[in-house]
Chains A and B, each alone.
Chain A
Amino acid sequence: MTMSGRPSASEPAAALSVDNVSMIFARGDKPVHALDRVSLNVRDREFIAIVGPSGCGKSTLLKLVTGLRAPSTGRLFVYGRQVTKPRGDVGIVFQNPVLLPWRTIIENVVLPIDVLGLDGVLGRERARDLLDLVGLEGFENAYPNELSGGMQQRAAIARALVYDAPLLLMDEPFGALDAMTREQMNLELQRIWSANAKTVVFITHSIPEAVFLADRIVVMSARPGRVLEILDNPIPRLRSLDNMLEPEFGRRVREIRHLLGGHVATGEGHGGRADW
């Protein structure tokens, strides 16, 4: 039941290509410059994290990728096709789970199947597999309000994966969780990502989270949002929470922190965990 726009192997198109995109809002009569000439290429099956201060336009960038908003200037391509309107070929996980309280967990997970008019029987099967994958087996028929915040967010991840979109956008998905649940979810996400071969664009303002999860890290400036630097992150997979205590990890965290202004001091080897 794939409906993906992922091209055949012969086509070397980037999973996501952001080409010189700027975004200006009108707030009242004052224009707000949210994004300034952002360019970015994400390879197929790559895990990209975008970090930056609040209001750097990270979330705006995601809205542009989904096609929910149009950029003021510049173009975006998802697997070689220019984004002009929402097409249902990207999965989204928001900061809040955004589950519909009147639907059971499995009904929430298959919502995209219903909306996109895909095969319902296959969709339910896949939803059940995904609920197992995210650790929610046995909760198919529970209602969202019966689940903890972390469990709800797992369901939201299953929902984003259910229609097999090749590109997964995550907008601070674990920002509302407590620190311990968050670490757990980071581990889980790494596992889910390696099991599903998705391209992930992951927005966060936790630098350690970005270093833990991503292949490459895009560092953005405060408004107007600009790409300051794109850093490779070659810490080998699969990563464990112990990796975060290594000097290598701390060095990367510190490097990014310096890029962002460098005024937050952090102890050697702690990887800036206070930020969590």
Chain B
Amino acid sequence: MAGVLTGDTESRPTAVELARRNPAALWNRYGLPLAVFVMLMALWEGLIRYLEVPGYLVPPPSAIVRALWSGLTSGLYLTHSAVTATEALMGFLIGSLLGLFIGMLVVVFPTAERIVYPYVVALQTVPKVAIAPLMVVWFGFGLTSKVLVVALVSLFPVLVNVIAGLRAIDQDRLDLLGALSASRWQVFRYLRFPNALPFIFAGLNTAIVFAVIGAIVGEFVGANRGLGFLILQANYQLDIAGAFSLFVVLSIMGVTLHAGLRWLQRRCVFWMASDDPLGGGH
């Protein structure tokens, strides 16, 4: 599939180009959101101080920044972030590869659909959060149980989209290859798979968000490491500023993973303009 992975995407103008050509647009794109953010934070801080809200209920932004700073400089957050990121990424990889594989199987061999699909749907109707404790019982407090929870959570969005993508084929394109007496494998290779890539990435984008959630849920249920574990600890100690600072770390992780996936998507699905509801942009 080398041909799919090459080629350049047409990108939006960079910040520097934009600044040169149109300073007002630069302000609209970066300056304005930043200003609004700063104002919100100031408002938050001011309200908390003015109303004298106790820190164990809602912490002021300054306390969150302090907690974040100490967590980062002590190395504590990085160590635990690495654990959660590993769980999320490994589970995501396993889950999406499985989803990809089952999806292809189901589309290429229709009998496989009747055999496999009912189990998949049955599995999907069980909330994965309900399976998480069982995973801990079976696989312990370590990495494995979390990876499995994440894999289960990531599998379904990928699977559904793979199936949809492999099937969503223009009849003319099928006829084009059909008239050339293309084999089933050739139709798959030249048409179905590249055609499914935008769908697959839509599934992966959902799955990566689910993956982080899955890892945190797994850690809530039973763990001695990871961001989910730290959040629980902070809650038990009524260290709400600490919990908030962990939310910040968590969302940075989520955004990073999502951005990495968008980067990959722009390279693999270069022929389609990207439309990112979560504002992947640049």
- Interface residues, chain A, CB within 8 Å of chain B? 63, 66-68, 85-88, 90, 92, 94, 96, 98, 100-104, 107, 111-112, 114-116, 143-145
Q: Do A88 and B176 touch across chains, with their CB atoms under 8 A apart?
A: no
On whether A116 and B175 interact (CB within 8 A), knowing A102-B4, A143-B271, the answer reads no
Judge whether B175 and A100 touch: CB under 8 Å. no
User: Which residues of B in the span 74-125 have a Cβ within 8 Å of any Cβ on A?
Assistant: none
Contact with A along B176-194 (1 / 0, CB 8 A): 1111111000100011001
Asked if B275 lies at the interface with its beta carbon under 8 angstroms from chain A, I say: no
Q: Is the Cβ of A86 less than 8 Å from the Cβ of B179?
A: yes
* B181 / chain A contacts, CB cutoff of 8 Å: 85-88, 115-116
CB of A115 within 8 A of CB of B194, answer no
The answer to whether B271 and A111 touch across the interface, beta carbons within 8 angstroms, is: no
Chain B binding surface SS class: helix
Q: Contacts of A66 on B, CB cut-off 8 Å? A: 175, 178-179
Bound Cα distance from A115 to B272, whole angstroms: 25
Give A88 to B191 CA distance when docked, in angstroms: 17
In the complex, are the beta carbons of B3 and A102 less than 8 A apart? Answer: yes
Compute how far the CA of A39 lies from the CA of B35 in the bound complex, rounded to whole angstroms.
Answer: 76
A68 touches B172 (CB 8 A): no
Check B173–A98 contact: CB distance below 8 A.
yes
- Per the bound structure, the CA–CA distance linking A104 and B175 in Å amounts to 20
Residue of A whose beta carbon sits closest to that of B4: A102
Inter-chain contact A114/B190, CB cutoff 8 Å: yes
The reply to whether B170 and A115 form a contact with Cβ atoms under 8 Å apart is no
Beyond contacts A63-B175, A67-B179: 9 other A-B pairs, Cβ-Cβ < 8 A, are: A68-B175, A86-B178, A92-B179, A98-B172, A102-B3, A102-B194, A102-B197, A115-B190, A116-B181
Which size class do B's interface residues fall under? Answer: 20 to 34
Name the A residues within 8 Å of B271 (CB-CB).
101-102, 143-145
Check if B3 sits within 8 Å of A86, measured CB to CB: no
Q: CA separation between A87 and B181, bound complex, in Å? A: 6
Q: Within 8 Å CB of A86, what residues of B?
A: 178-181
Kindly provide the distance from the CB of A83 to the nearest chain B CB, expressed in whole angstroms.
11
Residues of A within 8 A of B272 (CB): 101
| Known pairs A100-B194, A102-B194, A103-B3; A115 contacts B180 (CB<8 A) | yes
Chain A interface, DSSP helix/strand/loop, else mixed: loop
Q: Let me know if B190 and A68 touch, CB within 8 A.
A: no
B7 close to A (CB within 8 Å):
yes
Residues of A within 8 Å of B3, CB to CB, are 102-103, 107
Q: Are A68 and B178 in contact (CB under 8 A)?
A: yes
Distance from B274 Cβ to chain A, minimum over Cβ atoms (Å): 14
A107, A112, A115, A116: most-surrounded residue (chain B CB, <10 A):
A115
**20 contacting pairs across A/B (C-beta < 8 A):** A66-B175, A66-B178, A66-B179, A67-B179, A88-B181, A90-B179, A92-B175, A92-B176, A94-B172, A96-B172, A100-B173, A100-B194, A101-B272, A102-B4, A103-B3, A107-B3, A115-B177, A115-B182, A116-B180, A143-B271
Q: Which one of A92, A100, A143 contacts B7 once the chains associate, using CB atoms below 8 Å?
A: A143
How distant is B174 from chain A, measured CB to nearest CB, in Å?
9
Interface residues of B in 181-211 (CB under 8 A from A): 181-182, 186, 190-191, 194, 197
List 9 A-B pairs, minimum CB-CB distance, nearest first.
A101-B271, A66-B179, A86-B181, A115-B180, A98-B172, A88-B180, A102-B194, A115-B182, A88-B181
Give every chain B residue within 8 A of A143 (Cβ-Cβ). 7, 271
Q: For window 255-273 of chain B, which residues contact chain A by CB distance below 8 Å? A: 270-272
Residue of B nearest to A141 (CB): B7
CA distance A66 to B177 in the complex (A): 11
Cα–Cα distance between A87 and B182 once the two chains are bound (Å): 9
User: Cα distance A121–B170 when bound, in Å?
Assistant: 29
Please measure, in the bound complex, the distance between the C-alpha atom of A143 and the C-alpha atom of B170, giving whole angstroms.
19
Q: How far is the CA of A116 from the CA of B176 in the complex (A)?
A: 12
Closest CB of chain A to B105's CB: distance in Å?
Answer: 23
Determine how close the nearest CB of chain B comes to the CB of A21; give it in whole angstroms: 18
Q: Which residue of A lies closest to B173 (CB)?
A: A98
Minimum CB–CB distance for B186 against chain A, Å = 6
| Inter-subunit contact A88/B170 (CB<8 Å) | no
Contact partners of A116 in chain B: CB under 8 A:
180-181
CA distance A54 to B8 in the complex (A): 42
Q: Which of B7, B170, B197 is most buried by chain A, counting CB atoms within 10 A of its CB?
A: B7
Q: What distance in Å separates the Cβ of B26 from its nearest Cβ neighbour in chain A?
A: 28
Residues of A within 8 A of B7 (CB): 104, 143
A233-B7 Cα distance, complex, nearest whole Å? 48
Q: Are A100 and B178 in contact (CB under 8 A)?
A: no
In angstroms, how far is the closest chain A Cβ from the Cβ of B257? 25
Instruction: Name the residue on A nearest B194 (C-beta).
Output: A102
- The smallest beta-carbon distance between B176 and chain A, in angstroms, is 5
